[in-house]
Chain A
Amino acid sequence: MTVPQIITGRFDLPNSYTIEQYEATGGYQGLRRALGMTPAAVTDEVKTASLLGRGGAGFPAGVKWGFCPPGVWPRYLVVNGDESEPGTYKDRLLMELDPHQLIEGILIASYAVGCSQAFCYIRGEMALAQERVAQALNDAYAKGYIGKNILGTDFSVDVVMAWGAGAYIVGEETALIESLEGNRGMPRLKPPFFPAAKGLYMQPTIVNNVETLSNLPWIVNNGGTAFAELGAEGSKGTRIFAVSGHVKNPGVFEVEYGVTTFRDVIFGEQYAGGLHEGRSVKAFIPGGASAPWFYEEHLDLPLEKGTVDRAGSMLGSGAIVVMDDTTDAVKACLSVVKFFAHESCGKCTPCREGTTWLERILKRILDGYGRPSDLDLLLDVADNISPGIAWPPKQTTFCPLGPSAVSPLSSAIGRFRPEFEAYIRKGMQQRAATAPQVPINTPAAALATEGAGSHG
């Protein structure tokens, strides 16, 4: 059986983003078909498809739709197009290259769930995606696909394009809702603020990822059963994976979910084509910066949610980042930790202070000012953010961002501890050989003394 390109099929067509090309290639047929079904029947198809959310958490879309409390109106649909997890590159392409497919998905979901208004929130930095989606919305309105009495039926919904202004945390669904309300993008506490129950303006709100929604036209056209015939176990259909880092042909690939392995997409000739000459895999991130790292021994695992979860990490946002044996584990760890420290919204202390300290301590280790106790200190700070440093992570925080900073740290120290120790040893030897022992007036020195009394 050849695996269909369910969501990337139009990417290579000329003017793939225009309504003419979309209509010429089966566009809006899924919407027509859905409108001939009851909303409940559409939801059932999506449940049959076992379509898992593609935004990171992997929750089944059809099940989530069912969580809206009955009889509470209006309901809203919020599209999460804030893609910004390091390594992740797919939603931008889906918006730039096939915006009508996304819009059709938004309409199908709104119809099935009973949403009276939909908001498509696009990351602020994505000017072209905003432009393509705005044009697509204008064209779809003009053709009667959106708005009042869609295609002559009693289904009416406006799709409003909203856009952000630079903040990773706004990808978290409750922060996204805050941002849509015009506020600082800080997450809300769950419970009670599960969006399906209390979301936008405290009304039932379904938040779905761009890729999740882009699958809906195909599912409605071909049936949930056809979708579920692809893939394995709990991971059905196809899924986009972006393979980046130290590979010959980094790229974005739609592959059969659940059966394709990491080795396939990293080494396969039609995929990333393997590592550069003479290099070997030191580590790879299986699902975006928040995910614990995998190693050589994980290469033959299938890209299947349950399998990867059980192996101690996650497929997250479908971002595979390969690090070869030339990679400095301490530097790579700092890079990811720094990201989370920078993007912490500051609402909770363990995340705000903890990620900042993790970054500073890692930085001083790299700069040659690390101390023998620093690795324990790092893990202690990490333990305050995510008690037990386990997987799946526990959290002392409002949202999972804080614990996300712990993943690269526990991975890198767990696997490459000698590299950290080597930095610390080398720095100490160098300083022992020179006097005065602690240079004055350098920021790192200030940190070294300042931190000395603060712990234990």
Chain B
Amino acid sequence: MARYTVDNIELAREIIGRYPRPKSALIPLLHLAQEQDGYVTDEAMAHIAELVGITPAEVLGTCTFYEMFKLEPVGRYVVNVCTNISCMLTGGEDLLHHAEQTLGIKAGNTTSDGLFTIEEVECIAACTESPALQVNYRYFHKVSNNDFDQLVADLRAGVRNDIPPHGTLGLVRQHIPADRAAGVALPEVSVEPAWMATKSTGAGADGGAS
């Protein structure tokens, strides 16, 4: 485990190929590692470094800036409860306390069965649907204590197939078909795009005059 599987190497190469600079693929590649293993392992970071052509330290440097990347195993379900202003005004803190009590852990921790991790998070862009939470980045709006208990029961019973294990984000991946691709625009290749050159000689030259 931990280095990319053969399939994921393939995917990683495809992702890298979409960017003018390989390092730009770093965040998607770290997500791919997290999707594979549930968290980002040292071996995965070393593998990413090889594929991208940078050092493992550079990968770690980027990785540690972003809160979604976990360097240690977390629960199968990461429960993120928002306590920012809109949620705070409408019961977000109570919801967090209820979650902590129900699962018997403080925010930032994982239940001993490895099923749940609770996190207190900043605004998740569901402010009119407060209090809001996410489970593995899937939204739950206007969550009452009862809703929360039901959700936990369902997750325990394994009947929420719509929520994949921690690490998996969107279930659809972008694929650019080879015969349709325009290709990456390398910064060092300075050519005026065809449609600009033919249709207007000075479209970009108006310097904001208005």
Contact = CB atoms under 8 A, between A and B. Distances in A.
Contact of A114 (B61, B85, B136, B193): B193
Interface string B87-100: 01110000000000
B21 A335 contact: no
B117 interface: no
Q: Is the interface of B mostly helix, strand, loop or mixed?
A: loop
A311 interface: no
Interface in B81-130: 83-86, 88-90, 122-130
B84 A117 contact: no
A157 B168 CA distance: 29
A227 interface: no
B177 interface: yes
A252 interface: yes
Contact of A131 (B124, B171, B194): B171
A166 B171 contact: no
A123 B184 CA distance: 23
Contacts of B181: 147-148, 158
Interface string B177-210: 1011111111101111111101110111111111
A202 B128 contact: no
B30 interface: yes
Interface stretch (A88-96, A215-223, A360-368, A377-385): A88-96
Contact of A141 (B66, B126, B180): B180
A332 B83 CA distance: 11
Contacts of B187: 74, 200-203
Contact of B210 (A47, A113, A246): A47
B68 interface: yes
Contacts of B26: 182
Of the candidates B181, B182, B189, the one having the most CB atoms from chain A within 10 angstroms of its own CB is B182
B69 to A, nearest CB: 6
Given A114-B203, A168-B122, A66 B210 contact: yes
B68 A165 contact: yes
Contact of A180 (B24, B89, B125): B24
Contacts of B177: 141-142, 147
A343 B200 contact: no
Interface string B149-174: 00000000000000000001111111
Contact of B173 (A128, A134, A246, A343): A134
Interface string B8-40: 000000000011110111111011000000000
Q: On chain A, which size bracket covers the interface? A: 35 or more
A388 interface: no
A289 to B, nearest CB: 6
Interface in A42-75: 43, 47, 60, 62-64, 66-75
B125 A179 contact: no
A358 interface: no
Given A85-B123, A86-B84, A184-B65, A125 B137 contact: yes
A244 B65 CA distance: 30
Nearest to A70: B205
Contact of B66 (A153, A166, A181, A244): A166
B171 to A, nearest CB: 5
B172 A131 contact: yes
Nearest to A67: B208
A107 to B, nearest CB: 11
A36 B67 CA distance: 45
B159 to A, nearest CB: 19
A76 interface: yes
Given A40-B200, A182-B23, A250-B129, A148 B180 contact: yes
Given A38-B199, A124-B169, A128-B138, 7 more contacts: A67-B208, A86-B86, A114-B203, A128-B170, A141-B177, A148-B182, A332-B85
Q: Which 6 A-B pairs have the closest CB atoms?
A: A165-B66, A131-B170, A116-B185, A182-B26, A166-B67, A182-B23
Interface of B: 18-21, 23-28, 30-31, 52, 61-62, 65-69, 80, 83-86, 88-90, 122-130, 134, 136-139, 168-177, 179-187, 189-196, 198-200, 202-210
